[in-house]
Structure 1
Amino acid sequence: MQKKNFASDDSSESVGDRVLRRVRFDIIRGVLAPGERLRLERLRDGYGVSVTTLREILARLVVEGFVVAEGQRGFEAAPVFAADLRDVCELRLLLECHALRRSMALGSLDWEAHVVSAHHKLQSVEARLMDGSPSSVEQWVQYDWDFHHATVSACDMPALMATHSNVFDRYMRYHLIALDFRGKPAAEEHRRLRDLVVARDTEAAVALLGAHVRAGMEHVLATGKFA
């Protein structure tokens, strides 16, 4: 099963890959703000790698949609705006709904157990957030990804899954910048999605996934932070 490590370092990675993940996550959570100039000298000091390595990293993030190349002006963190979120939302659903159908057709008993386990962890974090208890944003992001990825992890299309991972990050970027958890409705939808997936009720699960992701998008837009 794929594990997305948003913040923690993995000793098996190369330095370049580790810094790439750190820069991407700092863009996703708004530490590197939308539209911010990404000055190589400052990034070199902050991330501890050479300017040459940083150029390669930022070029990769341009392809992924997190950075914009400004010709001779260098690089900027990609801007955020409502129309982009709507596009990313629909792209996520296009990929994730297809992957969910494949997983529900092909998934084993172990896959079902993975879905249930991932939801249990997500549910615990969401319960703490709804109770007003301190909880790490990075932890919630990790467990939300873990659950949604678990539901589609039996999909047998690696290229689709890699693209979905990238699009999920772009969608989640808006949630982390907004910093406004949707609360009980989102948690209840996750619980219902778990049950529908385990029951192999494909059409109902796909319909709920669509409603869930679009509701999250509308909640973020309602914060008024994205024109």
Structure 2
Amino acid sequence: MENIQLSVTENIFKKIKYDIVFGNLEPDQKLKLNLLQTEYNVSISILREVLNRLCGDGFIIYKVQKGFFVSPISKKDLYEIADLRITLETHALEISIKNKDYEWEAELLGAYHKLNHAENELEKNNLNAKSLWTKYDAEFHQMLIKKCNSLNLIRIHEVIFDKYLRYQLLILKYRGKESIKEHKDLLDYSLISNIQKAQNTLRDHIKKGVDYASSNLSL
């Protein structure tokens, strides 16, 4: 019974987090427990547990005597998240490349192939590919750092990556060919173990992404 409740809690956590990241629950939106209970078909006790956990990760804030709200967005927050992502991901990438093996190389190539397919579909203005691009972009970046062999680092990176992604998904435009080239360069430099160029490419990739988001958002 305990394992079932844990799986229900984790499932609801992922659903609400998804709705925040993808903008279905909007920045600053008040989260009314009775409506959430109906929407996600979950008990109040599990719902409170999930909301408190999301507060801990920074996706939700709690205001005394007012309740839970989706975390607001701001340029300051966006650039702080980007800086944290750069610090974490470039560090993890270095360790991952040093620990690489043939299995990791094969998995990285597979992740890149799926991402590149989604990117090419977006280049054709196929907006239905946006959800696939989101999924495969995350998988590619997660695969880049997989061999850092640190569950703590990967867990923290996942939280920061999703916060960064939230800002990206508020933009309807796709950055295009420049981003595609950066992903290809990241792949190539990682496979040949050129750590410095891989890190520099990753750093530029994130900085250009955050500048693009900032210029296209009304913050």
Q: CA deviation at 1:16?
A: 1.1
Residue by residue over 1:151-174, the C-alpha shift from the partner in whole angstroms, topping out at 9 and shown as x without a partner, is 110002211111001100000000
Q: Helix, strand or coil for the counterpart of 1:35? A: coil
Alignment-derived partner of residue 25 in structure 1 = 18
Q: Structure 2 matches for 1:159-174, cutoff 5 A? A: 159-174=152-167
Residue by residue over 1:68-125, the C-alpha shift from the partner in whole angstroms, topping out at 9 and shown as x without a partner, is 0111211000001110000000001111001000000011111111111100000000
Structure 1: which amino acid aligns with 2:74?
A: F
Bigger proportion of residues as helix:
2
Q: 1:216 aligns with which of 209, 212, 215?
A: 209
Alignment-derived partner of residue 81 in structure 1 = 74
Q: Which runs of 5+ in 2 are unaligned?
A: none
Alignment-derived partner of residue 151 in structure 1 = 144
Q: Distance in 2 between matches of 1:50 and 1:180?
A: 38
Q: Structure 2 matches for 1:105-184, cutoff 5 A? A: 105-184=98-177
Contact 2:26 2:70 in 1 (8 A): yes
Contact 1:125 1:135 in 2 (8 A): no
Contact 1:86 1:217 in 2 (8 A): yes
Q: Distance in 1 between matches of 2:149 and 2:167?
A: 29
Q: Distance in 1 between matches of 2:157 and 2:127?
A: 30
Percent identity, please.
33
What's the TM-score, normalizing by structure 1? 0.92
For the aligned residue pairs, the C-alpha RMSD in angstroms reads 1.4
What's the TM-score, normalizing by structure 2? 0.95
Contact 2:96 2:148 in 1 (8 A): yes
Alignment-derived partner of residue 43 in structure 2 = 50
Alignment-derived partner of residue 197 in structure 1 = 190
